[in-house]
Amino acid sequence: MSEFVLPDVGEGLESAEIVEWLVAEGDSVSRDQPLVEILTDKSQTQLPSPRAGIITRLGFEEGDIAEVGQVLVEFSDGEGTAAASAAPINNSESIAPTSPASPAVPPNTPRPKAAPVVRRRAMAAGVDLRSISGTGPGGRITNADLDAALAGPVPSPAGSPIPPSRTAPTSSGPAAPSATDLGYMAPGTHKLRGIRRVTAESMARSWQIPHIHTNDEADATELLTARKWLKLSGEPGAETLTPLAFFVLAVAKALRRYPIINASIDPDAGEITVHQDVNIGFAVAAEHGLSVPVIANADQRSLFNLSTEIQRLTLVVRTRTVTAAELQGGTATITNYGSLGGRFADPIIRSPEAVIVGFGSIKPRPFVVGDSVVARPTLPVCIAADHRLLDGDIVTAFAEFVIGQLSDPAQLLDT
């Protein structure tokens, strides 16, 4: 028998949450086969098996917190035994059907991919996830897939006629929320787990930073025109060109212009670190929570290269294939809440960074041009900075530079 303990996957890891087991007790696994998906305060990643063998014990349940050095998996050599041989079945016993009933599933069907919340809902409803075809990335079963299964017809015993259905009375009130609705959580007490736990801990640390804020708007007329024509250029990344690529480029150039903002402060050590590289993180909302992948050396990339990298990083976050390296090393962050329709916000700095730049929705609004007030597409820009390191004058200059670049994309694209 051998053991596999939680390793230190880097940067002084002390513990990790067990997000999802990718194997079950009794499974035969090969070397380097993914065993478990874990969540640290830095990233969510899969741990591969260090050897081939039979899984004899899983040391933790999904949602548990394991410390470095604790046993995750126990292995043994030899062949596994079929679960069906463990005990005889008494056919004389009647078994109450669950509702809704799940179709019969072969016992050797691989364990389906699904998030812990989906597994818990399925267990409570008596649904075998192996009977559901997942529509998520890699065949992962989503809440929407489970909702569809729960809403489907309940199979009747063979040979039994299906009674005519009675039309349920309709209600003129709003429909009850489902688990796939934004912000939905079933009534009751829930454990703080997953990315929500990591976010809560991170935001608590960040809130200790004394924030300074500035809010302004850019005239986005020329930006929208430039984007329209650049999308037709045929360059790689042009077809998927979004305003976010312009935002990243403008912030990257501003950080290079004002390097003191591309910095971190360590009050305990009494040190300020000005970073050589400009690495910009951007917030990505996914089914499993919010993540911030990082674009390395953003100031050295073209607009089209930024567009391609934004699309790639967004995809790996939402398919849960993002690596720890792709979530680390940021020196500043962008949050594009305008894609959801928001206008102004007070974004929270991600410690140990010194700045976060928020962008609102681009919409026609009253705007002063010369002596007239006209309707122009405007872009709200909201900046939060670390007041321990930065004063209002430098933050305002930084904001004006970003707004100037976005108001004049010819200047922005002039490298």
For residues 48 and 130, membership in a common domain is answered with: yes
pLDDT for position 116: 58
Separation between Cα atoms, residue 356 and residue 358, nearest integer Å:
7
For residues 360 and 240, membership in a common domain is answered with: yes
Separation between Cα atoms, residue 238 and residue 308, nearest integer Å:
8
Residue 20's pLDDT band (cuts 50, 70, 90): confident
For residues 139 and 15, membership in a common domain is answered with: yes
**Structural domain tally of the chain?**
2
For residues 247 and 321, membership in a common domain is answered with: yes
Edge-to-edge, what's the strand order for the sheet holding 2-5?
2-5, 71-76, 53-58, 28-29
Residues facing 2 on adjacent strands: 75
Residue 234's pLDDT band (cuts 50, 70, 90): confident
| Domain annotation covers residue 21 | yes
For residues 275 and 346, membership in a common domain is answered with: yes
pLDDT for position 60: 92
For residues 108 and 231, membership in a common domain is answered with: no
For residues 236 and 133, membership in a common domain is answered with: no
* 330, 280 contact by CB (below 8 A): yes
| Domain annotation covers residue 95 | no
Q: What is the CATH number of the domain that holds 373?
A: 3.30.559.10
Minimum mean pLDDT among 36-50, 114-128, 138-152, 164-178: which range?
164-178
pLDDT for position 165: 45
| Domain annotation covers residue 126 | yes
Query: Among the three residues 114, 133, 151, which one is the final residue of a domain in this structure?
Result: 151
Separation between Cα atoms, residue 203 and residue 348, nearest integer Å:
8
Strands 332-335 and 280-282: parallel
| Domain annotation covers residue 166 | no
For residues 377 and 299, membership in a common domain is answered with: yes
pLDDT for position 106: 54
C-alpha distances (whole Å) from 410 to each of 124, 404, 405 are 58, 11, 8
For residues 267 and 131, membership in a common domain is answered with: no
Q: Give the pLDDT mean for 85-105.
A: 42
> For residue range 171-224, what is the model confidence (pLDDT) as tens digits?
444 555 554 455 666 788 877 777 778 778 888 888 889 999 999 999 999 999
| Domain annotation covers residue 358 | yes
For residues 61 and 146, membership in a common domain is answered with: yes
Q: Which residues are tagged catalytic?
A: 387
> For residue range 39-87, what is the model confidence (pLDDT) as tens digits?
877 677 788 899 999 999 999 988 888 998 999 999 987 554 433 333 4
Neighbours of 369 (CB within 10 A): 10
| Higher-scoring residue by pLDDT: 55, 151 | 55
| Higher-scoring residue by pLDDT: 385, 339 | 385
pTM: 0.68
Q: What is the mean pLDDT of the chain?
A: 81
Strands 355-359 and 284-286: unpaired
| Domain annotation covers residue 203 | no
Residue 393's pLDDT band (cuts 50, 70, 90): very high
| Residue type present at position 184 | Y
Separation between Cα atoms, residue 260 and residue 305, nearest integer Å:
26
Cis (ω within 30 of 0) for the bond into 100? yes
In the structure encoding, which two tokens stand for residue 400, read together? 């004006």
Q: Give the pLDDT mean for 387-406.
A: 96
Query: Among the three residues 118, 136, 151, which one is the final residue of a domain in this structure?
Result: 151
Separation between Cα atoms, residue 24 and residue 2, nearest integer Å:
16
Q: What is the CATH number of the domain that holds 56?
A: 2.40.50.100
For residues 9 and 146, membership in a common domain is answered with: yes
DSSP string over 15-76:
EEEEEEESS-TT-EE-TT-EEEEEE-SS-EEEEE-SS-EEEEEE-S-TT-EEETTSEEEEEE
| Domain annotation covers residue 172 | no
16 is in which domain, residue-wise? 2-80+102-151
Q: Of 315, 283, 280, 282, which Cα lies nearest the Cα of 301?
A: 280
Maximum alpha-carbon separation in the chain: 90
Sign of CA dihedral 29, 115, 20, 125: negative
Residue 159 has pLDDT above 50, yes or no: no
For residues 313 and 236, membership in a common domain is answered with: yes
Q: Of 367, 411, 76, 398, which Cα lies nearest the Cα of 222?
A: 411
pLDDT for position 62: 87
Residue 168 has pLDDT above 90, yes or no: no
Minimum mean pLDDT among 15-24, 30-39, 137-146: which range?
137-146
User: The tokens 């490298």 sit on which residue?
Assistant: 415
| Higher-scoring residue by pLDDT: 166, 213 | 213
Work out the angle at residue 184's Cα, subtended by the Cα atoms of residues 179 and 189, and round it to the nearest 5 degrees: 100
Q: Give the pLDDT mean for 24-43.
A: 85
| Domain annotation covers residue 204 | no
> For residue range 322-373, what is the model confidence (pLDDT) as tens digits?
888 898 899 999 999 888 888 888 899 999 999 999 999 999 999 988 889 9
Query: Among the three residues 118, 135, 151, which one is the final residue of a domain in this structure?
Result: 151
| Higher-scoring residue by pLDDT: 7, 394 | 394
Angle between the 243-257 and 221-230 helix axes, to the nearest 10 degrees?
Answer: 120
